[in-house]
Amino acid sequence: MLRKFLYVGILISLVLVTNQVKAGNNTAAVGSTPIGSGTVAPIMSSGAVDVRILSSQPDASVSAANVSISSVEIYLGTGWTRMTLKQNKVDLMQAVGIEQPVASMKNLNPGTYTQIRLNISGVDVTPAGGKPVKASMTLNSISFTKNYQVSINNTTVIVINFDPVKSIDLSVKDQIAFTPVATLLFAPSGSMQIVNTNLPAGKTGVPYSARLVAIGGLQPYTWSITQGDLPDGLVLDPATGVISGTPAKDGTFSFTARADDSSPVRKSTARTTGGGVSQGNPGLSIRISP
């Protein structure tokens, strides 16, 4: 009889302990950070952010501008958190029209985020025909405040687009100053976007070059003209997005440019001709003067 009571007592204890463990697990799941709160989320319901650097065309007087990155931070509602660095140095000359991945963060709660910060430890500028010079810096970080979305199972691409012409000051002899001037571009979760809003004008008989730029998706991109025509004498490189050649005829030439990415499920984006709209994008045109 005593053995029977002991056996029943052990079974009851096991059931109670098992239920407590299950209740504890359920409590942990229910008590996870609410979705959209701007913090790290459970892996099953998370999104990601990928930060890249892009650059516009530099002044011809500069052949290289190596920006050393100490950290990239994202604001998670209660404070700044460092992202995972992919590389700690970017040459802005190599980032002209070609995104350079610098940081990423996974397992983020879906929702609205507001701030991103790039911290710079140094900049080495090489004047054309010269040697690298360590630039003096008036700012060692650049912060952006702008709403962007993170969604479940998608990566939001954030592009820091530098303007090297405004960032690099060569006006003082034997001195180079660097003040980071950049804008923030977004490719919404799972999408692509062509960021050009206009292309430079050209002249007949004068060599021309301009680059189409897209963000989001998986590089490399494949570029094409799907409607309209480029000016006579100009061609589009499908691998780089560069439009180049020597214009042979004056006029205004409107066209649709399209970029396809390299992901298994292809993504694409286009800018339409004649100022029309495709996926919210205005049109592209090139004006060639006589």
pLDDT given for residue 284 in this prediction:
85
pLDDT given for residue 64 in this prediction:
92
Specify the amino acid at residue 252: T
pLDDT given for residue 266 in this prediction:
67
Specify the amino acid at residue 114: T
pTM for the full model?
0.67
Phi/psi of residue 26, each to 5°? -65, -40
Residues with Cβ within 8 Å of 16's Cβ and at least 6 positions away in sequence, in order, are none
**CA–CA separation, 32 vs 122, rounded Å?**
40
pLDDT given for residue 67 in this prediction:
95
Neighbours of 265 (CB within 10 A): 7
**CA–CA separation, 246 vs 205, rounded Å?**
6
The single-letter DSSP state of residue 138 is S
**CA–CA separation, 47 vs 219, rounded Å?**
20
Q: pLDDT tens per residue, the chain (290 residues)?
A: 444 444 444 333 333 333 333 333 332 222 223 333 444 444 457 889 999 998 887 778 899 999 999 999 999 988 999 999 999 999 998 888 778 899 999 999 999 999 999 999 999 999 988 899 999 998 899 999 989 888 888 888 899 999 999 999 988 877 899 999 998 888 765 678 887 777 888 999 999 988 888 887 777 889 999 888 899 999 999 998 999 999 999 999 988 898 888 877 666 777 554 333 334 445 688 999 99
